[in-house]
Structure 1
Amino acid sequence: MLANAIYGGVNAAVLTAMNADLSIDLDRMAAHCKWLLANGCNGLGVLGTTGEANSLGIQERIEVLEGLVARGVPAAKMLPGTGTTAITDTVLLTKHAEKLGCPGALLLPPFYYKNPSDDGLLAYFNEVIQRVGGSIKIYLYNFPQQSAVPFSVGFLERLLKANPGKVKGIKDSSGSYENGLSYVEAFARDGFEVYAGDDSLLKPLLEKGSAGCITAASNVNCAVGAQVYANWQNATGAAAQEVLTATRKAVTSVPLISGLKALVARNTGDARWLAIRPPHLPLTAVQTAALFSVFDASGIKLPKAA
């Protein structure tokens, strides 16, 4: 396990609460963030894939960050997603995250144009980093199934060399143990923070020197993830990892964001959590029943929301 990581431990890719008219419900989102921090999360990956960030406008994203801080969610615990396809928007959001007190920002690649060269990617990130300036740390978001733009070890070597001390880590949502391990083996010795995007890889990668995880399922399984993180070297951690892996399998058995919102709605007793922006749709009754059945079979017991 990597020591002294800024976001070391369990981080939730936080759901964005919405109203029936699909506007953002900041009060409910802030309450969920506080529940996460009270029940095993070390940090909050707001405005990521699970948070429907790419269904939100730039101004809405700013309002989320400002609204959470105003409602008592510590900026120091937030790792906001600020990567967009436009250099100017990415810079604007990243600078705003630093202004509010976020130690780092998580950046997708410029994902609209496919198959960019490493030279092109390097030029994009160098330009963003130079324009952002400041002291905020940059984390990359490797999610090739969604972005179609993977980050190779060779590219990361070039980026780190060009921006010493600025690029601090990566969230790897490739789902590949081998890929996450390649980042750990290449860079963790220098304090580079590698975060698993798949709960099933938390303990295996901690054993090799990763910093923890940033996962969608942490919206509901963070207490178990915390047990794994605290006990990764012993049998308690191994047993907790089995439950963690089972919960991951359960939530990915249905459309992920819709399923997580259904689970949070059940745990809070608040059906408003089911609201989701198209093209995503709420689960059907059949899907919901199937999810609840397989999720409960994992043996997890969710701490009740306040």
Structure 2
Amino acid sequence: MSQQFTGVLAAVVTPMNDDLSIDEKGVAAQVDHILSGGCAGVVPGGSTGEFTTLTTAERKRVNELYIEAARGRGAVVAGTGALSTAETIDLTRHAADAGADAVMVVPPFYGDMDWAGLLAHYGAISDAVDIPIMYYNIPAATGVDLTPEQFAELGRTTNVTCYKDTGGDATKLTQVFENHADDITVINGWDTLTFYGLSLGAKASVWGTASVIPGLCAQLYDTLAVQGDLARGRELWTTIFPICEFLEAHNYPAGIKAGTELVGVGAGPARPPVRPLAPQYRAEFAGLLRAAGVDVVE
């Protein structure tokens, strides 16, 4: 099974009303903001989307809403990972039926997961649902840290066609890219390594910052991945990097939601226990956006 994504895929928020219910109308505003800025698609239901705070029914509904809003305009990779194989298959089947282009599946993130068990988990999903799978590599949250050879085996033996690298290990990312590209596609997923990943040759980036500044993120992709203009890319990265660095220094969903509000497409609060950015950090974020030439709504 082949699936080759290109461009910036924005890791998106789950819009909330003040009562912490899902803001269904808010999804379309997020999609319009992101795709009109030049991004290639959206990735709902991941860490940025607070998936661990949503019920299964809410996760399905959020994926439906993003698929509907983006249909015909951009790709949708729906987050469907869960603690059990059965629930992951249920969420994956639902996303496929709703029209997702692919799914992003984080490995089960509680309890010890050995390699044989992990292969069986992704193998069962692949057998049950015929859809490309993006492996969500985030070892700091899951405790699952694969070797380059294991990434390759996962790609050869299951429907995992690519992996979002949120591991922060540039050397390992390079080893997979250089030595195992025939088996699995590397997609950058670590904000502050985006310049490196695109310069290396990654054809896509799953990037939460793109939910806030989609235009700048799309420009960086075009400059580096399409035009191969390193000099101009460095100029853009000097502008973008402080924003990425800021977001990685704070709770990520809270930071992205603050950013969407600052640029005029607010997505409401995050669900507890996540707290909003403190006023001084929000002011700092606003300053970074202004320095990057972004219009800020106060």
Q: TM-score, normalised by structure 2?
A: 0.90
Match of 1:142 among 133, 137, 144: 137
Alignment partners' CA distance in 2, 1:71 and 1:7: 19
Q: Which residue of 1 aligns with 2:257?
A: 261
Which residue identity is paired with 2:170?
A: Y
Compute the displacement of 1:75 (Å).
8.5
Q: Which residue of 2 aligns with 1:151?
A: 146
Q: Deviations over 1:130-178 (max 9, x none)?
A: 122x2x1011000011111122222223223323xx2210000012221
Contact 1:7 1:43 in 2 (8 A): no
Matched, 1:293 2:291: no
Match of 1:88 among 86, 96, 107: 86
The within-5 A match list for 1:51-200 is: 51-71=49-69, 73-74=71-72, 77-114=75-112, 116-132=113-129, 134=130, 136-163=131-158, 166-188=159-181, 190=182, 192-200=184-192
Q: Deviations over 1:219-240 (max 9, x none)?
A: 1122112112111121222211
CA gap 1:151/1:34 in 2 versus in 1, 3 angstroms: farther
Contact 2:155 2:162 in 1 (8 A): no
CA gap 1:291/1:147 in 2 versus in 1, 3 angstroms: same
Segment drifting more, 23-32 vs 280-289? 280-289
Compute the displacement of 1:5 (Å).
6.2
Compute the displacement of 1:303 (Å).
9.1
Q: TM-score, normalised by structure 1?
A: 0.88
Which residue identity is paired with 1:155?
A: Q
Alignment partners' CA distance in 1, 2:290 and 2:63: 33
Which residue identity is paired with 1:290?
A: E
CA gap 1:120/1:75 in 2 versus in 1, 3 angstroms: farther
Contact 1:103 1:137 in 2 (8 A): yes
Aligned to 1:80, the other structure's residue is in SS state strand
Contact 2:35 2:74 in 1 (8 A): no
CA gap 1:76/1:90 in 2 versus in 1, 3 angstroms: farther
Matched, 1:205 2:197: yes
Segment drifting more, 14-23 vs 260-269? 260-269
Compute the displacement of 1:72 (Å).
5.5
Compute the displacement of 1:191 (Å).
7.0
CA gap 1:72/1:14 in 2 versus in 1, 3 angstroms: closer
CA gap 1:111/1:137 in 2 versus in 1, 3 angstroms: same
CA gap 1:16/1:302 in 2 versus in 1, 3 angstroms: farther
Compute the displacement of 1:269 (Å).
6.8
Alignment partners' CA distance in 2, 1:72 and 1:9: 15
Which residue identity is paired with 2:287?
A: S
CA RMSD between the two structures:
2.2
Matched, 1:15 2:13: yes
Aligned to 1:268, the other structure's residue is in SS state coil
Match of 1:47 among 23, 45, 61: 45
Compute the displacement of 1:247 (Å).
1.6
Structure 2: unaligned runs, 5 residues or longer = none
CA gap 1:300/1:252 in 2 versus in 1, 3 angstroms: farther
Identity %: 28
Alignment partners' CA distance in 1, 2:81 and 2:255: 25
